[in-house]
A and B are shown apart, each in its own frame.
Chain A
Amino acid sequence: MFNGRLQQWSRDLRSLSRTLLGQPAPALLRSGRVGGAPAVVRMVRATVVTRTVETPDAISLELRSLDGALPAALPGQFVTVELDGDAPKRAYSIVAQPAPERVVIAVKRIADGAVSPQMHALQVGETLRLRGPLGLFVVEPDIARAQQYLAIAGGSGITPMVAIIEALLVLEPQSRIALIYGNRSAADTMFRSRLRDAAARSNGRLRVQFVDEAWTADSTETSSQGRLDEATLQREIDHAGMAATAIALLCGPTAVMQHARNVLRGRGFAESQIREERFGTPQATVRSRGAGTHTAAVFVGTQRYQFTVAPTQTLLEGAQAANVPMPSSCTMGGCGACGIDVEQGELVHDEPNCLTVAERASGKGLACVARLVSDCVVRVPNQRGPR
């Protein structure tokens, strides 16, 4: 106690003498960037801190970075995950970011999948590598905006929607959201009670319409029975009462996305109002249509480079192996730094990635996730950084 006082008096004396001598204390407590999002999205090691069973074949994993804070995730973004060993990388949407160094992802087991069974086997304390947040399937809430959102999700396509819906409910208080969410059955529905509770608390701002293929005892709150085909979607969108000025958010199996696009176009939704996230891998397409080594010709500025790309390589990996200076950053399809214009030939892309529907339609591509189905000619439009 006495020691403490003595130290305080000593500090007081030093401070007083500095003041009397006209030497003020430092004005700044600290300067320079402290914490926050790093400029470049990097790979970090992470550990599993929580494992929650969501449905018989889906779990949530809370992952904590062992290498410091991750950039703040926008609602709808994903991380890519690499397990130890030689398992391929996979992208999982961020359901929540409870702290700067933590993200929650949800993983649905695919019986013959290369990664999801191993993800399901992960226990608390085990480690993996992750990179992110990445991706442009995002909604940036605007507190002043009053907007209608029509979200259509099938199965694990709900994962980015959860983050988007929860952010909109908090940060965009004048907006309304309708979610049409299809599953095999109530028991197979991820985040069912979480969404139902959010709707109950939302003062009518969130409407959730469950569509189950199989009717079970748990289906009491289900809006309708069936698959998310065009007829069902027409009926559900009528129930949701959403105008064609709503922003449509789509995520789910390819067939559901196609049905949803057809229905929305028929109802007068403009292309710019439809946003979608695709999950899947292009290996099947490559295997069926273009197995083998192909030649890529790449224009960078006025230079033309030609090299071969093996079936296991992306266009960027082929370029790097041939020392071709193609720009890149995240190498995960999330930042857009390796954007290309496809002039000839056919490419398929690992999904998800940050290409917009309009970019896909106009022949844009991403070298880091592009796989060649045929020989091709591409051009690097301009040197640019991550977007």
Chain B
Amino acid sequence: MKKADSTALFSARMLEKLPLPVRNSLDRYGEWLGLAREVETVAVAKSLAPSSLRGLILRRGKQGVPTEFQASHRASIDWSCPSDQPEMAELYARAKRGQWDGDSLPWHTSVDLDDPNLHLLPIDGLDIGVLERNGVKLNAKEIQKLTQSMAAWMLSQFLHGEQGALMAAAQVTECVPFFDGKLYGATQVVDEGRHVEVFRRYLDEKLEKTYQINDNLFVIIDALMRDARWDMKFLGMQIMVEGLALGAFSIMYKMTAEPLLKTLLKYVIQDEARHVHYGVVALREHIKELSERERREREQWTFEVALLMRNRFMAYEVYEEWFEGRMPRAAWREMIESSPAMREFRQVMFSRLMPNLREIGLMSPKVTADYDRVGLLKYASGASASQLTGEAMVAALEQSPRWSASAA
């Protein structure tokens, strides 16, 4: 696996002589080529290539119209209505008890965007020095506004991810082979709808701004929605996207000092913990029954998608809003990569993912060595979703320090 470094495709001296818009275009092309070089497995490249074309090059997520596609998965109805999966039945019972109403959140909470004491994210979470070295000076108020934009961008991606999860949950409910799994799936559809509701409402009413979907997030959701294999949908949505989202929600919950957002995230986290658990239960036995070739393909797909997600969420939408034409796109990327809050996000996202991969049997010695090489193995020893409740997860977050040692 090679580290993505699009700028290395063009010499620095050559780039410096070019006008900024051209440099930015080359930077974007360099990223496309970098992506192609990053994916090592043919099967993974084949499964992601059409979605990458639609998301990265044609940018369908930003065309301003609904994305339409023909779903190709196989659905099932079991007329014998069996009790066939006790763990899912228990999860269904827990999900029913755990329902909450988005309208009941304390929406009256004032979120004054002009209040210097409003800290949606820590003000020192961005590496502002990089901006200054590139000739962009921001005063304290502008830094606060930029931090708010980063929070709005993250929450916007949560919103788009949740809409993807809503559609995926509906698909997964159709194709999951367990009857108890279908009952549980119905609750997850409701959960995802509620998450879309509360994130959209928070963005519309409180932050007053919503960003477009990130191209890389579009690629992953597009690929999962079109994949015909039910276990790949589960693996992609329930384990990868939900697992990474759970990590991202958790870190934002830990960082934010805004009480309404904290409450909202707390409820969402408790739902998400069930969703990931569902994926683990569904896949644990299934993966054992696959041929070694099929298992390896899923293992490799998971590893490569995990790295793509880690390396490619660079908040370019915020760059385009704030700094397009003022400084190079590559400098913005440098700032994101070196900012403590963003580093923490990228790292901690994996703390919820790795134990689940271990639990479902996608951590063979070969791929374990790959994870070790890219510095993610340290997360594999944590508790998996089947061993953790949402309450325990929130309690652990409340006890942990704001910055982890690895991100400092």
Contacts and interface: CB of A to CB of B under 8 A. Distances in A.
Contacts of B209: 28, 30-32
A88 interface: no
A8 B60 CA distance: 9
Contacts of B58: 12, 15-16
Given A28-B209, A29-B156, A98-B103, A4 B57 contact: no
A20 interface: yes
B66 to A, nearest CB: 11
A29 B155 CA distance: 13
Contacts of B78: none
B106 interface: yes
B68 interface: yes
Contacts of A100: 103
Interface string A23-35: 0111111111111
Interface string B121-143: 00000000000000000000000
B205 A33 contact: yes
Interface string A60-74: 000000000001101
A110 interface: no
A19 B107 CA distance: 39
A26 B103 contact: no
B65 interface: yes
Contacts, number: 96
A79 to B, nearest CB: 15
A99 interface: yes
Give chain A's interface residue range (CB within 8 Å of chain B). 35 or more
Contact of A170 (B100, B208, B320, B324): B100
A23 to B, nearest CB: 9
A26 B24 CA distance: 16
A33 B104 contact: no
A239 interface: no
A21 B228 CA distance: 36
B320 A27 contact: yes
A80 to B, nearest CB: 18
A329 B56 CA distance: 52
A117 B24 CA distance: 72
A231 interface: no
A115 B108 CA distance: 30
B90 interface: no
Nearest to B210: A29
Interface residues of B, number: 39
Given A16-B58, A19-B28, A29 B108 contact: no
A43 interface: no
Contact of A99 (B103, B106, B156, B210): B103
Given A24-B320, A24-B324, A36-B204, A15 B212 contact: no
Contact of B68 (A4, A32, A36): A4
A72 B108 contact: yes
Interface in B297-332: 316-318, 320-321, 324
Interface in A34-58: 34-37
Nearest to B104: A170
B25 interface: yes
B108 A74 contact: yes
A33 B59 contact: no
Interface in B103-120: 103-108
B266 interface: yes
Contacts of A33: 204-205, 208
B9 interface: no
B16 interface: no
A93 B156 CA distance: 36
Given A32-B208, A33-B204, A26 B108 contact: no
Contacts of B104: 167, 170-171
A247 B257 CA distance: 27
22 contacts: A12-B58, A19-B57, A19-B59, A22-B22, A24-B316, A24-B324, A25-B62, A25-B63, A25-B212, A26-B62, A26-B212, A27-B212, A27-B321, A28-B212, A28-B321, A32-B208, A32-B209, A33-B205, A34-B204, A36-B107, A72-B107, A97-B103
Interface of A: 4, 8, 11-12, 15-16, 19-22, 24-37, 71-72, 74, 97-100, 140-141, 143, 167, 170-171
Given A19-B28, A28-B209, A30-B204, 18 more contacts: A4-B68, A11-B65, A12-B63, A15-B63, A22-B24, A25-B62, A30-B210, A32-B208, A35-B204, A35-B205, A37-B107, A37-B108, A97-B103, A100-B103, A140-B106, A170-B104, A171-B104, A171-B106
9 nearest A-B pairs in the assembled complex, by CB-CB distance: A36-B205, A25-B62, A34-B204, A27-B317, A72-B107, A27-B321, A22-B21, A22-B25, A27-B320
